[in-house]
Amino acid sequence: MSTPHLTLASASPRRRDLIERLGLTPDAITPADIDETPLKDERPRDYALRMGREKAEAVGASAGFVLAGDTVVAAGRRILPKTETEVEAHKCLTLLSGRRHTVLSSVVLRAPDGTLRERLNENIVRFKSLSHEEIAHYLASDEWRGKAGGYAIQGAAEGLIQWIKGSHSGVMGLPLYETRALLKSAGFQIG
């Protein structure tokens, strides 16, 4: 049986690397261009799933199977931004310092007939209490740029995290257990 055509609806090198850990190489990478603004009073879980669905649906119908996802960092019901400025990143890191927060990663698989399969991965992450020097050092690394909540667990921020409850790959941006289950249910051959 041949492997179905798979398009990854993400420009994220982390998602591409993670999907390859399952032994799959996407046939195409087509980033979804959508408005990622949360709706008024939208809950983080609902937002993560909506973003995954919208990204999967934004890629053309001729793309075969489309795999999309989104990662949301939430402090309570507050959705933290994908930080674009150092000021935003500083605010996020200050807010997360010494406390638990939630990282939600949706994964959505759109079949060629348009049907959607989706999963949501939920993780709890706790940062140590960060000193001003630690925040300044992390900001100087530039790892925070474009990252939900202003940090990347696969980089220097991992040394600032006391513990996580959940999936390391989910916090990185593509929960492999859930992704594998969706792909297998759609007929992909995965070891």
- Whether 127 has a pLDDT exceeding 80, the answer reads yes
The helix or strand, by DSSP H or E, that contains position 116, with its residue range, turns out to be: strand 116-127
For the annotated catalytic residues, the residue numbers are 70
The span from the first CA to the last CA of the chain, in angstroms, equals: 14
Mean pLDDT computed over every residue of the chain = 94
Please tell me the distance from the alpha carbon of residue 74 to that of residue 79, in angstroms, as a whole number: 5
User: Do β-strands 116-127 and 161-165 pair in parallel, antiparallel, or remain unpaired?
Assistant: antiparallel
- Whether 80 has a pLDDT exceeding 80, the answer reads yes
pLDDT digits (tens, 9 = 90+) for 2-46: 567 999 999 888 899 999 999 999 999 999 999 999 999 999 999
Percentage of the chain surpassing pLDDT 90?
86
Closest residue by Cα to residue 179 from 12, 1, 16, 3:
16
pLDDT for the residue 158: 95
Domain ranges of the chain: 6-185
CATH topology of domain 6-185: Maf protein (3.90.950)
